[in-house]
């Protein structure tokens, strides 16, 4: 009888440990050069360089249909059930497919141990939570550190980028991927070589390319020299923007707000040693030529200088995530890590701590409703994850399981009530 009681007590302790671990909220580690996209009400984050200096296969999301604050966002990790097929970074994702529920990820890796000479396309179906590697035709030479933009016809445009293996140079070539036929074609060359830039699709079918680097001795490109690709006829043009002076930069983030303003934040200059000014600015695409406007701010909710971060627009809110901070004249994840998000209200350009009026944040009301996976506390590597399914028992088995669970929660309540626990207060 004594041994049976000891065994029962051991089972209670093990279950208590499992429940405690399962109840712990998933918090992603600091990272930079991750990808991010929005499907429906979920903002997905893919891969990125982590503290080890390597890419990661992690996939997680933030449900923006629920109220959240920048200090404690409710993350949901999918890595245990849907890891990216390779450790990914510098790879642009894009949302497409017939129901706009598929993530296309354009990688420069075949596997974790094998680099590719051509762009590798991975797809993630957010309804089934499955990755696949479709067979494509005409895949161009591999690139990284570029952006992918999709038009209303399901064609994805990629310009320039950095060739990481042979030449280690940036380019101005244009690649067009038909997400329906899974085929690549070549477009015309852009007027300026770019990588680490931003690309923004306007409602009139124009893609606006700003900033970045072209690998010259003074690498950052003048922010007034804007390349514009017309998806309607496949032609390029070059515009000289006007307005406030905006310091050149690379590895920054941009979104398009509902008023037709491209909102930019952060970035780095002078070989990633300087935070460019102003940190926050807008480009009015309603005027001809486009016009820059610097935005000043002073808020406890504002982000620090950041580079390599990502941004998405949810309603009026620009949500900035991850990236590396500036410390001792260097943007470095090791010395200035960031696993936080920051929220900018683009209707008045003020930084806020939370979003509460979620009814206005429906990004794609006609899109699918994704399954709700179990929130896990997984790492960013290929580690093992424990999944215990719910087993519906009958008779005495059900009674025993229910009794043990009841004892566990009684034990936890008793322990918490009576026992005081001392507290402790680059490219690749």
Q: Per residue in 48-86, pLDDT tens? A: 999 999 999 999 999 999 899 999 999 999 999 999 999
User: Taking 50 as the threshold, does the pLDDT of residue 399 lie above it?
Assistant: no
Tokens, residue 367: 């899109």
pLDDT on residue 133: 97
Residue that wins the pLDDT comparison between 400 and 246: 246
373 has a pLDDT exceeding 50: no
Q: What pLDDT was estimated at residue 5?
A: 57
- Is the pTM higher than 0.85? The answer reads no
Q: Are 209 and 226 in contact (CB under 8 A)?
A: yes
- Express as a percent the part of the chain with pLDDT over 90: 72
Which one, of 137, 138, 172, lies nearest residue 158 by Cα? 172
Residue 99 pLDDT level (bands cut at 50, 70, 90) = confident
The pLDDT, as a whole number, for residue 218 is: 72
Residues in the chain: 428
Greater model confidence, 412 or 375: 412
For residue 17, pLDDT over 60 is answered with no
Range from 142-151, 367-376, 408-417 carrying the lowest mean pLDDT: 367-376
Question: In this model, does residue 334 exceed pLDDT 70?
Answer: yes
Confidence of residue 354 (pLDDT cuts 50, 70, 90): very high
The CA-based angle 157-205-220, given to 5 degrees, is 55
**What pLDDT sits at residue 323?**
98
Strands 317-321, 341-345: pairing is antiparallel
Rounded distance between C-alpha atoms, residue 397 and residue 399, angstroms: 5
Asked if the model's pLDDT at residue 28 lies above 90, the reply is yes
> Mind giving me the DSSP string for 167-184?
T--BB--EEEEETTTTEE
Task: Tokens for 362, please give them.
Answer: 């429906």
| Averaged pLDDT for residues 247-259 | 97
Condensed to tens digits (0 to 9), the pLDDT of residues 255-280 reads: 999 999 999 999 999 999 999 999 99
Q: Is the model's pLDDT at 225 over the cut of 90?
A: yes
Kindly state the average pLDDT of the residues 346-352: 96
Q: CB of 90 within 8 A of CB of 145? A: yes
Residue 25 has pLDDT above 80, yes or no: yes
Predicted confidence band of residue 356 (pLDDT cuts 50, 70, 90):
confident
Q: Which residue has the higher pLDDT, 151 or 15?
A: 151
pLDDT computed for residue 400 by the predictor: 45
Alpha carbons 215 and 190: distance in angstroms, whole number: 15
Question: Is-contact 180 187, C-beta < 8 A?
Answer: no
Neighbours of 244 (CB within 10 A): 13
Q: Read off the pLDDT of residues 110-144 as tens digits, 9 standing for 90 and up.
A: 988 789 999 999 999 999 999 999 999 999 999 99
Mean per-residue pLDDT, 357-371 = 44
SS3 labels along 369-403: CCCCCCCCCCCCCCCCCCCCCCCCCCHHHHHHHHH
Q: What is the pLDDT of residues 203-221, one digit of tens each?
A: 999 999 999 999 877 789 9
Residue showing tokens 């990216």: 84
**pLDDT of res. 43:** 97
pLDDT score, position 114: 87
Q: How much is the pLDDT for 1?
A: 61
Least reliable range by pLDDT among 60-64, 142-146, 157-161, 399-403: 399-403
């Amino acid at each position: 009888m004594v041994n049976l009681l000891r065994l029962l007590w051991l089972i209670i302790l093990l279950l208590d440990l499992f429940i405690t671990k399962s109840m712990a909220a998933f918090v992603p580690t600091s990272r930079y050069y991750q990808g991010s996209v929005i499907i429906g009400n979920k903002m997905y984050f893919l891969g990125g360089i982590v503290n080890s200096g390597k890419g990661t296969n992690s996939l997680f999301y933030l449900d923006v249909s629920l109220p959240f604050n920048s200090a404690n966002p409710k993350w949901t990790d999918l890595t245990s059930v849907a890891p990216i097929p390779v450790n990914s970074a510098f790879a642009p994702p894009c949302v497409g497919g017939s129901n706009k529920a598929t993530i296309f990820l354009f990688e420069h890796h075949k596997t974790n141990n094998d680099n590719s000479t051509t762009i590798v396309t991975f797809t993630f179906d957010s309804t089934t939570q499955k990755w696949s590697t479709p067979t494509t035709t005409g895949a161009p030479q591999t690139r990284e550190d570029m952006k992918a933009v999709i038009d209303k016809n399901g064609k994805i445009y990629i310009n320039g980028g950095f060739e990481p293996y042979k030449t280690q140079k940036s380019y101005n070539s244009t690649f067009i991927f038909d997400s329906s036929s899974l085929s690549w074609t070549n477009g015309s060359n852009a007027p300026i070589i770019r990588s680490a830039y931003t690309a923004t699709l306007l409602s009139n079918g124009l893609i606006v390319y700003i900033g970045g680097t072209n690998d010259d001795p003074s690498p950052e490109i003048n922010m007034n020299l804007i390349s514009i690709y017309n998806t309607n006829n496949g032609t390029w043009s070059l515009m000289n923007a006007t307005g406030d002076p905006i310091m050149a930069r690379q590895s920054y983030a941009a979104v398009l707000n509902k008023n037709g303003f491209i909102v930019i934040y952060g970035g780095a200059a002078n070989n990633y040693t300087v935070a460019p000014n102003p940190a926050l600015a807008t480009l009015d695409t309603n005027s001809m030529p486009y016009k820059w406007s610097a935005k000043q701010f002073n808020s406890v909710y504002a982000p620090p200088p950041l580079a390599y971060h990502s941004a998405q627009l949810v309603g009026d809110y620009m949500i900035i995530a991850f990236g590396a901070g500036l410390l001792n004249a260097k943007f470095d994840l090791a010395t200035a890590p960031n696993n936080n998000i920051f929220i900018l209200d683009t209707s008045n350009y003020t930084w806020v701590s939370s979003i509460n009026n979620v009814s206005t944040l429906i990004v794609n009301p006609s899109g699918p409703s994704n399954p709700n996976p179990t929130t896990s506390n997984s790492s960013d590597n290929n580690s093992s994850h424990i999944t215990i399914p719910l087993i519906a028992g009958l008779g005495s088995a059900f009674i025993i399981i229910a009794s043990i669970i009841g004892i566990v929660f009684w034990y936890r309540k008793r322990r918490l009530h009576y026992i005081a626990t001392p507290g402790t207060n680059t490219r690749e």
